[in-house]
Structure 1
C-alpha cells in the first residue's frame, strides 16, 4: 500500500471563535497541491461552492509581475482546512517575556488528488493560480488557514474578506507615481498621467497650480478640479499615437515626458485665458471646472493640438481656435445650443461627457472648415 504523501511546514497556531487558526509560509507552487478551488455552481438546484470563475487576464497580469524579477509579494492566501490536518507543538524552552499569542510547531497537511484535497482557497484564487504558473515556483507566500470543513463557514469568510471597501481610486492614482515595480496593465496606464497631474498641480507656471484635488490634501485645502478627471483625459490621449500626448510615447525607447508636459501647459493655459470668467471657480459655478468639462475639453485637446502641429506660432494657433469656439460654450450660464441642456444640468455621467465631447469636437471642426 502506497504511503500517503504529506506536506510538513512550520506554523504558528492560535484560537479564534473556537476554531484553530494557523499562520505559515508555503512555496507558491505548493498552494494548488494542497488546496482546491470551490467553484460556485448549482447541482440539482442546490448551490455549491463560492468562488467565481477564473479571470484569466488578472492571472496573466499577476504572473507577469511575478516573472519581472525578484519581487515583494506579501499578500496572504486564506485557506479553509479540513479537521484531518495535524499540528504538533514545538518542544523546548519558552523565551522569557514572550507574547503568548500563538503556539509554534509543525503543521502536517495530507496531499490528495484534485477535487478531494484537504484545504480550500477562500481568498486569493487568482494569486494562487498565478503563483503556480510563475517561472519561480519557490516564492515564499504567507498563508492564513482556519480549520473548518463547513461550507457555510467558508462562504461566510469568503464574503467577509471580499466585501471590504476597495481602495479609493484617487488614493491609488496619487500613489502610482511613487511605485517603481512592474505594474498590472490597468495600473501602469494610470501611472504616467498621475505623475503629469502632480506636476500640473505643483508647478507655479501651470494653469492648474493649486487647483487639483488630491487624496493627500489637508482638509482645509479644497481643490476645484478632481485629479481623476484629468488623469482619465491624459490616459485617453496616451492610448493612441494620434493623441496629443500619445505622439510622444515611444514604446521600448522611453517617453518624452517633457514634450507631453509642454503640450499640456500650452493647451490648458490657452483654455484658461480663453475662458477667464469660468476658470478657477467651483464646479457649481462653472461647468468648465467640473469633471465633465475637463473631460470634454480634454477630448478636444487631441484634434486641436495635432492640427496646429508644425505651425510656426503654435501658441497663437491654439488660442485662435479656442477663441473661435468660445461664443458657443455655456460654462457659467445659458444653455448648450444643439444639446438642449442648461449649463448647470451637465453632469459627470458617461452619457453627458460623451455628448459634450462629441458636440465640442464637431463644432470645432465645422468652425475650422468655415475659417479655411
Structure 2
C-alpha cells in the first residue's frame, strides 16, 4: 500500500501508438520512487536489472558542480515506469493533437526495496546519484518517462546509450533479455548472446562460469571470442542447420546441446590448457576459441549432437600430436613455425592456426 501519491505536472506526448511523459521533479526526491537497476543474476540465473555500476569519480565531479554557484543540468533524465504509475489528463490539447497536459501519479512507499520501486533510471544514473549526495536542499530536474515492462526497458537502455561508450560486455549480457527494435549490429548478436548466456549458466558444462561477463566477473574466457565463434557457426557453420534463415530464429536447445557436446570433448582432450587463462593458454585465448570453433564447423556440420563424439574424438587425438596450447612451438608446415604464445587474436593468426589445426586433423595418427 502506497504511503501517498506524488502528483507531477506533465505533458503526455504521443509517438505513434506509444506515449512519453515530459515533467520536472526535485532530484532529491527521485530515490523515493526510482532506483538504479544494476545488472545481476538471481539464484535461478535469471538476468535482473540493466544498469552499469556507478562511476564514483564522475559522480563526485558532478556533485562538486552542483554545490557550486548557479549550477544547471539541462539534459533530461530518462525514467522507465511500471504499470503502477498512471497519467491523468487535465485539459484537452489546444492547437495540436499529439500532446495533452495532465499529471503523472506516482505511488510513494518508503518501505519498498529498490527492486520493488515503480520507476528505474534508464539514463542519468550518475546525475541522479550526484544530486542525491550533494549538499543542497533541492534541485529540480527535467525528466522524460515511459511505461513499459523490464525487457523493453533494457531495449531502451541500449538504444539511449547507443552513441555513448557503453561497455560491450554489458550490452552482450542484456541482449538475450531484450525486446524491441535494435540496431542491426546488436540484432545480429542477439541469438549468439542468448547462446553464450546459456553456455555460461550450464552447470558442469565446459563454459560454466568460464566466460567473463558483468555477472560472471571471475570468468577468464573473453565474451567477444565466444560470440564471434557462435556467430560464424550460426551463419556459415555447424549451427546453421538449427536456424531458420527467414526470420533468424532457431532451436536454441539443440544449438546449446551441439556446443556443449563439442566443447565438452575439447575440454576433456586438453584439461590443463582448458583450465588456464588466455595469457597461459592459447586454447582459451581468442585465437584458440575461434580456430577451434572453425574445427567444430568442419567436423560436425550437418551432424546431430548424438553423432558428434564419433566424429570429433579422432580429430582431437590428431590435434594432440602437434598442439602447443601452453608451451612449445606450432609447426604449420612449409617451414613456418610459431612460438606458442606468439599467436594473437588477429584475423591472420586465427586463419594460420585454423589451417594448422586442419592439417593435424587430416593427417595420419602416429600412435
TM range (shorter): 0.5 to 0.7
Map of 2:64 onto structure 1: none
Q: Give how far 1:232 is off.
A: 0.9
CA distance in 2, matches of 1:227, 1:315: 26
CA distance in 2, matches of 1:22, 1:223: 37
Alignment of 1:287 with 2:282, yes or no, is yes
Map of 2:363 onto structure 1: 367
Alignment of 1:215 with 2:211, yes or no, is no
Map of 1:231 onto structure 2: 227
Map of 1:262 onto structure 2: 257
Q: Secondary structure at the match of 1:296?
A: helix
CA distance in 1, matches of 2:141, 2:292: 58
Instruction: Tell me if structure 2 keeps the 8 A contact 1:331–1:343.
Output: yes
Please say which structure displays the higher CA radius of gyration: 1
Q: Give how far 1:363 is off.
A: 3.8
CA distance in 1, matches of 2:301, 2:174: 31
Alignment of 1:190 with 2:186, yes or no, is no
Instruction: Tell me if structure 2 keeps the 8 A contact 1:311–1:317.
Output: no
Alignment of 1:303 with 2:298, yes or no, is yes
Evaluate the alpha carbon distance shift between residue 100 and residue 301 of structure 1 in structure 2; reply closer, same or farther with a 3 A threshold: closer
Alignment of 1:351 with 2:348, yes or no, is yes
Q: Give how far 1:310 is off.
A: 6.8
How many pairs does the alignment contain? 232
Q: Secondary structure at the match of 2:280?
A: coil
Map of 1:202 onto structure 2: 201
Map of 1:273 onto structure 2: 268
CA distance in 1, matches of 2:306, 2:345: 37
CA distance in 2, matches of 1:215, 1:312: 33
> Which structure 1 residue ranges, 5 or more long, are not aligned?
1-8, 24-29, 31-73, 77-97, 104-161
Q: Give how far 1:269 is off.
A: 0.8
Alignment of 1:167 with 2:166, yes or no, is yes
Alignment of 1:248 with 2:245, yes or no, is no
TM-score (norm 1): 0.53
Instruction: Tell me if structure 1 keeps the 8 A contact 2:169–2:213.
Output: yes
Map of 2:325 onto structure 1: 331
Query: Any runs of at least 4 consecutive aligned residues in structure 1 with deviations exceeding 3 A, and if so which?
Result: 16-23, 98-103, 251-254, 310-314
Q: Give how far 1:252 is off.
A: 4.3
Q: Secondary structure at the match of 1:239?
A: helix
1:81-100 equivalent positions in 2, closer than 5 A = none
Map of 2:310 onto structure 1: 316
> Which structure 2 residue ranges, 5 or more long, are not aligned?
1-12, 14-21, 25-68, 77-97, 99-121, 125-136, 143-160
CA distance in 2, matches of 1:231, 1:256: 17
Q: Give how far 1:235 is off.
A: 0.6
Instruction: Tell me if structure 1 keeps the 8 A contact 2:209–2:216.
Output: no
Q: Give how far 1:205 is off.
A: 3.2
Evaluate the alpha carbon distance shift between residue 17 and residue 226 of structure 1 in structure 2; reply closer, same or farther with a 3 A threshold: same
TM-score (norm 2): 0.53
Evaluate the alpha carbon distance shift between residue 335 and residue 165 of structure 1 in structure 2; reply closer, same or farther with a 3 A threshold: farther
CA distance in 2, matches of 1:271, 1:102: 55
